[in-house]
């Protein structure tokens, strides 16, 4: 089940798709065979790669494409009154059965200009899909790329947790973000619905309001916790108080007892009684080093006495690098007190609070001691660039190539249906992507291939490929899915492979990454430029 | 029907709400009466106001709040195995029946620190609502505020059209944006589903792909259009060609016929045949001034001959100010050719392409001739600030006030349940918002009221109010809605009133707007500061 099913329907589109559909139909071109390419022009986040996501959502959309009667009634209301009634009968017949959809495998790294998806079918039907497909690909790919960039910054060992639901752009903004952050490289989400719908691991501990809700020990109605193995009853609160006194005597904490909040200790005890095996405490409500960590160590030692082990602590404010290092020092000291406290040395520290790619890199430089990041706003809203500019362009109609001209060369489309390849070098990394005319012979490994920049005449290179991969597969034909769709975890694995095994480090680095080359064959270059000149009008200056 | 119903459900929450709920339940505090405030700390977009939106969505969420059996089965899976089974029976009983919800009227301008919504009820139940309510308020309010700012920049006369679906953050990001941009001050949306679900006017014309799909007149299978009143048949293409020749002779256009695209003319004719009464053409596919406008005038004059009137043209690239002024010059010249062409003088010009608040202001300075803006990415993703930081804080429990302390004064919460008022001055504009203790006597007009800055001791003022408005109404009590909810158009009207009739201009200006004052009564000030000191631990420095 897909959580956004109810919204992804034919009317989730721009009105002009419907007016254009009517105009195509009215003037008789609606059934002309057409080819549309979905691609973007610029990698997001000032980077040099993008992760392609949202393909399954697009295919499910096409699979379920049917105007309902109430949709058609609504369209009747918004089209001019004199619209012909047989148009509405035509709309009723529309579905995905005459479409063929090729696409890059979901989760692949992708680059500007190369079609992510190519849709062939009757002109008007293809046109109707534009907005929904762009909506489904743009944000999914953007947020997956963002997550992959956070993963690059954090390295492979740290846990990355997505905590963005409350700041996401609506319920579905949150759900989409949780799903595609997971495939992009996050380990888990706080979003329970995403866990239920997609099987993503969910994680969460407690909020400041939980800590604030306990002011004094009197508010604790239950204090007992049985020993994990002997089952012997104990008073966890009393035990924690005793541990706190003991630990404060062991080494110079520099805190006086009036600074250590009893309300906080009470809240920790309440949480530990509920979750003795998975105790993880938020320790920054009062003061991390003068209250939170003292209470956390106290309750952790009490739990240890009763056969349980704490899972860690979370800080959500302050200087995360400094605090994590101070916490690690405390934990190492505690570990040094008794052999059985050894586990304290590696006590997990979770950090949250306005984390972005740059924060993680800065924390890395400061050699932080954080084990997991909880990331919200910057991740799910893609603060640095909140939209990917995928476009959906007509490239052929009735077997004739079509070109969208523009005075801005970057905006010119590459006409015609194309075959696309990824060319790999000896070291196993991808060298460039190559687009060719549909009827050209396939390029072969270990033969010289002339690759040209699509617009800059002098940029040419001969490439000797050690491996060549065709980029597109047919996913939909004759009204059905023609390829098995990967699971979410398979896509996640593919993202990881695609970024780490096929993409060279210099394309991924944060500062001034090397652009990955996207090229065309000699024949496509010649065709593109001849066709461009043929279509561009000749002006007159004086 | 609300399009996001299927997603807005109790599991659309952070997992820690459920773990905290379990801990409250396990330690017996789950039914303690609690009060939570929803508020934000900083106005968005470097401005000094925010539009409150999303209230109805929150109330519908509470109205429908019930864990389903499959939700509970899923929660069982993600909580530790030893979680007590009677907790799940407790979850089954939970609904909104024991909650009381007060809120500011939806669509009002609101300011930092003042509660937008106050939720009272059993501690654990209130806690469970946090994430969903923040998700529903944060983006709705943000995008409504963004739309209101675009409206301020554009002035009241221009049409503002929301075209953002393809770049929105997922299907619901798009739908939420369409709905709340409308209430914020937009006239219409391109999003058909938003039109169907919420009754918002939908608008749209044609895309570049429509223009590109016609290369030559031969592709036009139908050319006929009957006269609107006489019903006499005509060939619209031939007529348009004739009009084009005629118009090119009338005044120096500076274009040669090879520059004027026949494909574009063909596309315009096709569209005009389909929509003779609502013809609006996209004129920048080839060259606005050397092709698009010539073809547009030709088809418009042909339609005029047949009794129809064009609705305008759209430009989606280039220097929008320059082009709009050049277009207006052409239209004025055409209007001057014959009295019956007078309508050309005011021919609507729609502009789109990366429009933001600053673009509109810059275009205003250049005295553009645009009549309507189509706005996408910047509007719906709120590029300038993609998240509003509303928080949900515990302010009282078991009739005792609660405070969230922080070393950052801006993050300290104002404890206890509060009464909030908006104080108006003689000129009818709002002067400040005032928060008071719940049991204080109501402030009265025409009496001196001492208003204090909540944290800065020396900032005090005596205010003589000419009108005082209580900010909160009770919307939900004893399991039902207690106030009629306004329609979308009523909310839209209220946004307009609230911004234009109650908010002084200096709070709204783009550059260095004056902050609107949010104050507390003398008694709340005294209480807040005494309570703060009472709860803050005393540290020791040496």
Q: Report which of residues B409 and B112 the model is more confident about.
A: B112
Give the one of B221, B389, B407 whose C-beta lies nearest to A27's C-beta: B221
DSSP state of A163: -
- pLDDT of B517 reads 97
Q: How many CB atoms lie within 10 A of CB B13?
A: 27
Q: Provide CB contacts within 8 A for B100, sequence distance 6+.
A: B119, B120, B121, B474, B476, B477
Output the CA–CA distances (angstroms, integers) from residue A371 to A214, A283, B223, in the order listed: 28, 15, 69
Residue B474 is encoded by which pair of tokens? 């009770």
pLDDT for res A251: 84
Alpha helices (runs of H) in B199-253, residue ranges in sequence order:
208-212, 236-250
Q: Please list every residue in chain B whose beta carbon sits closer than 8 Å to the beta carbon of residue A202.
A: 15, 78
Query: Looking at the predicted structure, is the pLDDT value of residue B5 above 80?
Result: no
Shortest Cα distance, chain B CAs vs residue A344, angstroms: 22
The beta strands (E) that lie in B44-124 are given as 50-51, 100-104, 109-110, 117-122
Chain B residues whose CB is inside 8 A of the A27 CB are: 220-222, 270, 273-274
Of the candidates A6, A100, A24, A116, the residue with the CA atom closest to the CA atom of residue A61: A6
Using CB atoms, which residue from A206, A261, A402 is nearest to B213?
A402
Q: What is the pLDDT of residue A414?
A: 95
A275 touches chain B (CB under 8 A): yes
Q: Per the structure block, which two tokens stand in for A100?
A: 């063929």
Report pLDDT for B19: 96
The number of CA neighbours under 13 Å toward the Cβ of A50 is 31
- Of the candidates B297, B349, B340, the one whose C-alpha atom is nearest the C-alpha of residue B318 is B349
Would an 8 Å CB–CB cutoff place A14 in contact with chain B? yes
| Number of inter-chain CB pairs under 8 A, A vs B | 420
Cβ-Cβ contacts under 8 Å, B273 against chain A: 23, 26-27
Report the C-alpha gap between B491 and A168 in whole angstroms: 23
**Helix/strand/coil (H, E, C) string of B106-137?**
CCCEECCCCCCEEEEEEHHHHHHHHHHHHHHH
Average pLDDT over residues B33-48: 97
Give the pair of three-digit tokens for residue A18.
């419907």
Is the pLDDT confidence value at B2 over 60? no
Sequence-separated (6 or more) residues with CB below 8 Å from residue A441 = none
Query: Is B533's pLDDT higher than 80?
Result: yes
- Among the residues of B424-518, which ranges form H helices? 488-497, 505-508
Residues B308 and B230: their CA atoms lie apart, in Å, by: 12
Q: Is the pLDDT of residue B542 over 70?
A: no
CB B316 within 8 A of CB B353: yes
Q: What are phi and psi of A464, to 5 degrees?
A: -110, 105
What is the rounded distance in angstroms from the CA atom of residue B488 to the CA atom of residue B200? 9
Which residues of chain A have a CB within 8 Å of the CB of B8? Answer: 171
Mean pLDDT over all residues of chain B? 94
Contacts of B260 in chain A (CB under 8 A): 537
Please state, in angstroms and as integers, the Cα–Cα distance from residue B92 to each residue in B9, B37, B72, B82, following that order: 14, 26, 8, 19
Non-local CB neighbours of A98 within 8 Å, separated by 6+ positions: A121, A122, A125, A479
**H or E element that contains B460:** strand B460-464
**Interface residue B60 vs chain A (CB under 8 A):** no
A36 CB neighbours in chain B (<8 A) are 209
Nearest one of A310, A322, A321, A316 to A347, comparing CA atoms: A310
Asked if the Cβ–Cβ distance from A381 to B387 is below 8 Å, we say yes
B contacts of A190 (beta carbons < 8 Å) = 14-16
Q: How far is A225 from chain B (nearest CA, A)?
A: 11
CB contact under 8 A, B173 and A139: yes
Q: What would the pLDDT profile of B87-139 be if each residue is shown by its tens digit?
A: 999 999 999 999 999 999 999 999 999 999 999 999 999 999 999 999 999 99
Question: Is residue B3 scored above 50 in pLDDT?
Answer: no
Tokens encoding B287: 């060259």
CB A173 within 8 Å of CB B177? no
- pLDDT band at B1; cut points 50, 70, 90: very low
ipTM over 0.95: no
Low-confidence ranges of chain A (pLDDT < 70): 1-5, 542
* Closest Cα in chain B, distance from residue A353 (Å): 12
Element spanning A240, H or E: helix A236-250
**Nearest residue of B to residue A142 by CA position?**
B169
Asked if B537 and A287 come within 8 Å (Cβ–Cβ), the reply is: yes
Measured at the alpha carbon of residue A114, what is the angle toward residues A112 and A115, in degrees to the nearest 5? 120
B195/A219 Cβ within 8 A: no
B326: which 2 tokens?
A: 């050049």
Burial string for A396-419 (b: 16+ CB within 10 Å, else e) reads bbeeebbbbbbeeeeebbbbbbbb
Residue B82 CA: distances (Å) to CA of A236, A269, B77, B93: 18, 17, 11, 21
Given CB atoms, is B78 within the 8 Å cutoff of chain A? Answer: yes
B292-296 contacts, C-beta under 8 A, 24 or more apart: B292/B264, B293/B327, B293/B330, B294/B244, B294/B247, B294/B248, B294/B253, B294/B255, B294/B260, B295/B240, B295/B244, B295/B260, B295/B261, B295/B264, B295/B265, B295/B268, B296/B268
Contacting residues of A for B25, CB less than 8 Å apart: 274
pLDDT of residue A460: 94
Residue B311 phi/psi, 5-degree rounding, is -100, -10
Tell me whether B252 touches chain A (CB under 8 Å): no
Q: B66: which 2 tokens?
A: 């019930």
- Please enumerate, as own/partner, the contacts of B510-515 that have beta carbons within 8 Å and a separation of 24 or more: B510/B152, B510/B153, B510/B357, B510/B361, B513/B47, B513/B48, B513/B49, B514/B48, B515/B48
Nearest to B258 among A130, A172, A537 (CB): A537
Question: In the prediction, which pLDDT does A5 show?
Answer: 56
Q: Which residue has the tokens 């430089």?
A: A365
Tokens of A236: 């966890």
Selecting from A7, A165, A176 the residue whose C-beta is nearest the C-beta of B131 gives A165
Chain B hits for A290, CB-CB cut-off 8 Å, are 537, 539
- Do the strands A312-315 and A349-351 form a parallel or antiparallel pair, or are they unpaired? parallel
pTM (predicted TM-score): 0.95
Q: What is the pLDDT of residues A494-517, one digit of tens each?
A: 999 999 999 999 999 999 999 999
Kindly tell me the burial class for residue A112, based on how many C-beta atoms sit within 10 Å of its own C-beta (0-12, 13-18, 19 or more). middle
A395 contact partners, CB below 8 Å, separation of at least 6: A35, A36, A37, A401, A402, A403, A413, A414, A415, A416, A417, A418
Closest Cα in chain A, distance from residue B423 (Å): 31
A422 membership: H or E segment, kind and range: strand A418-424
Q: Pick the residue from chain A with its C-alpha nearest to B539.
A: A259
For chain B, state the CA radius of gyration. 29
Percent pLDDT > 90 in chain B is 89
Q: CA-to-CA distance for B161 and A116, rounded, in angstroms?
A: 29
Task: Please check whether residue A448 is in contact with residue A455, taking contact to mean a CB–CB distance below 8 angstroms.
Answer: no
Summarize the confidence of residues B263-287 as an average pLDDT: 96
């Amino acid at each position: 089940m897909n959580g956004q099913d109810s919204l992804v329907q034919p009317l989730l589109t721009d009105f002009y798709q419907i007016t254009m559909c009517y105009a195509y139909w009215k003037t008789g071109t609606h059934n002309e065979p057409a080819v549309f390419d979905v691609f973007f022009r610029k990698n997001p986040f000032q980077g040099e790669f993008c992760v392609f996501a949202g393909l399954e959502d697009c295919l499910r959309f096409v699979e379920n494409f049917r105007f309902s009667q109430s949709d058609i009634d609504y369209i009747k209301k918004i089209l001019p009154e004199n619209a012909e009634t047989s148009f509405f009968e035509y709309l009723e017949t529309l579905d995905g059965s005459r479409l063929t959809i090729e696409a890059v495998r979901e989760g692949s790294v992708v680059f500007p200009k190369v079609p992510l998806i190519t849709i062939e079918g009757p002109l008007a039907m293809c046109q109707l899909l534009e907005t929904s497909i762009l909506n489904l690909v743009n944000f999914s790919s953007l947020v997956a790329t963002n997550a992959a960039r956070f993963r690059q910054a954090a390295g492979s060992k740290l846990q990355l947790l997505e905590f963005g639901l409350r700041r996401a752009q609506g319920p579905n903004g949150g759900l989409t973000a949780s799903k595609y952050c997971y495939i992009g490289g996050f380990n888990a989400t706080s979003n329970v619905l995403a866990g239920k719908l997609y099987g993503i691991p969910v994680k969460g501990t407690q909020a400041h309001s939980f800590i604030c809700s306990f002011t004094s020990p009197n508010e604790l109605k239950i204090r007992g916790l049985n020993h994990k193995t002997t089952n012997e009853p104990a008073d966890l609160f009393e035990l924690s108080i005793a541990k706190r006194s003991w630990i404060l005597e062991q080494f110079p904490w520099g805190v006086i007892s009036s600074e250590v909040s009893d309300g906080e200790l009470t809240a920790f005890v309440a949480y530990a009684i509920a979750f003795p095996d998975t105790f993880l405490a938020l320790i920054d409500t009062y003061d991390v080093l003068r209250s939170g960590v003292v209470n956390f160590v106290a309750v952790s030692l009490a739990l240890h006495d009763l056969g349980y082990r704490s899972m860690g602590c979370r800080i959500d404010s302050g200087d995360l690098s400094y605090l994590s290092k101070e916490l690690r020092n405390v934990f190492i000291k505690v570990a040094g007190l008794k052999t059985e406290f050894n586990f304290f040395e590696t006590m997990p520290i979770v950090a949250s609070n306005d984390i972005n790619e740059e924060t993680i890199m800065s924390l890395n430089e400061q050699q932080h001691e954080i084990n997991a990041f909880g990331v919200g706003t910057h991740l799910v809203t893609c603060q640095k660039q909140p939209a990917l500019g995928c476009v959906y362009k007509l490239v052929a109609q009735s077997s004739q190539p079509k070109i969208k001209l523009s005075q801005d060369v970057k905006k010119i489309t590459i006409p015609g249906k194309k075959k696309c390849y990824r060319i790999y070098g000896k070291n196993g990394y991808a060298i460039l992507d190559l687009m060719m005319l549909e009827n050209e012979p396939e390029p072969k490994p270990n033969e010289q291939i002339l690759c040209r920049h699509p617009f800059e005449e002098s940029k040419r290179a001969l490439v000797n490929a050690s491996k060549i991969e065709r980029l597109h597969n047919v996913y939909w034909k004759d009204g059905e899915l023609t390829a098995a769709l990967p699971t979410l975890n398979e896509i996640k694995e593919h993202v990881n492979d695609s970024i780490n095994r096929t993409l060279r480090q210099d394309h991924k680095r944060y500062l001034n990454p090397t652009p990955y080359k996207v090229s065309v064959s000699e024949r496509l270059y010649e065709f593109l430029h001849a066709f461009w000149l043929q279509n561009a009008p000749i002006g007159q200056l004086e």
